[in-house]
Amino acid sequence: MLTDSKSPRSGSSIDCPAPVNGPSERALKVALITGITGQDGSYLTEFLLGKGYEVHGLIRRSSNFNTQRINHIYIDPHNAHKARMKLHYADLSDASSLRRWLDSIQPDEVYNLAAQSHVAVSFEIPDYTVDVVATGALRLLEAVRSHVSATGRSHVRYYQAGSSEMFGSTPPPQSETSPFHPRSPYAASKCAAHWYTVNYREAYGLFACNGILFNHESPRRGENFVTRKITRAVGCIKIGLQSKLFLGNLQASRDWGFAGDYVEAMWMMLQQEKADDYVVATEESHTVEEFLEVAFGYAGLKWQDHVVIDKYFRPAEVDNLKGDSSKARKVLGWKPKVGFEQLVKMMVDEDMELAKREKVLVDAGYVDAQQQP
């Protein structure tokens, strides 16, 4: 748990900004990650730590702690020889904090994974989505550019997290050369961030890459995303905590992969001689109904007995996303390791165990059953 004096739980995680180490003093590569508390941020942190990196993450100040995805890899920074992950307060809406931490941390690689990443929610809070996803990326790019200009650290490399949602209604398969046709404020914001990254690469010579990642899931996926919503429901229904699952468009088709595989592609992009943009995908497309079939069937259930079609439809739908990742496979040597059914079963297994733990608390009276009908 993050409970020491340098933890966000104490309210004092930020040291006075000062260079972490001079380039000649450190043997480890240093990475800076925005969105470190998210699904991708947690897997990328694990991956980079395994590669011997020192990892710094920027987190937003909140009265509700959201560090559960990285609690298992957190070490008290007082244990200086073991603590290779450190957290700092900053925000993509605050340009001064971004530049301050870049100057202090002096990263070799910067990964911009932070976003208001829920497509449906972006219709409800479009201004905020654009400010964080689009303008936030611009602020970070400018902070990196000005840091490089002031320090001469021209080796710094930047990764921008793109999204298959940028293609929107463009017919599949979608590749790096396919036109963007965004169908949500989130997707339009990601398009802007993509082109800001291209512009800073071309205008200033910044080593900046766009990773256009198709849908990638895991047991760490947020519970308001359809895949995790389904597997959470399977666990709760199987264990008796829930009986119904409310969904929208079951015919929407997506290219679903495992987030743990996709973060390796992010890293690979920054190890190339030349900065470029890459689609990362499994090249298979499955509908929400197919996801239901595998998830419920794996638990010995029939989804038709539990799923209710409700109001969960976007103002503008994206019907079919299927990536062409041939460039990433050829240039980077990347390919997915986890297949569709394996991914779904992995998520169901985790959520089944979670439901069992919740059932113990409910039966003991420690938790009220906050269940759907």
Gyration radius of the chain's alpha carbons: 21
Number of neighbouring beta carbons within 10 Å of residue 203:
9
Q: What is the DSSP letter of 280?
A: E
Q: Which tokens go with 200?
A: 């800073």
Q: Catalytic: which of 43, 74, 186, 196?
A: 186
Torsion of CA 243, 248, 251, 256, to 10 degrees: -80
- In terms of Cβ atoms closer than 10 Å to its own Cβ (0-12, 13-18, 19+), residue 293 is middle
Return the SS3 of 331: helix
| H helices, E strands: number in the chain | 11, 13
- In terms of Cβ atoms closer than 10 Å to its own Cβ (0-12, 13-18, 19+), residue 373 is exposed
Query: End-to-end alpha-carbon separation of the chain, Å?
Result: 34
Catalytic, 163? Answer yes
Q: Which tokens go with 201?
A: 């690469």
Q: Which tokens go with 321?
A: 């996303």
- Residue labelled with tokens 């113990």: 360
Q: Catalytic: which of 163, 164, 184, 218?
A: 163
State the Cα–Cα distance between residues 165 and 172, nearest whole angstrom. 12
Largest CA distance in the chain: 63
Q: Catalytic: which of 46, 54, 109, 165?
A: 165
State the Cα–Cα distance between residues 79 and 88, nearest whole angstrom. 17
Catalytic, 165? Answer yes
Closest C-alpha among 95, 78, 140 to residue 114: 140
- In sequence order, what are the residues at sequence separation of 6 or more whose Cβ sits closer than 8 angstroms to the Cβ of residue 271? none
Active centre residues (catalytic): 163, 165, 186
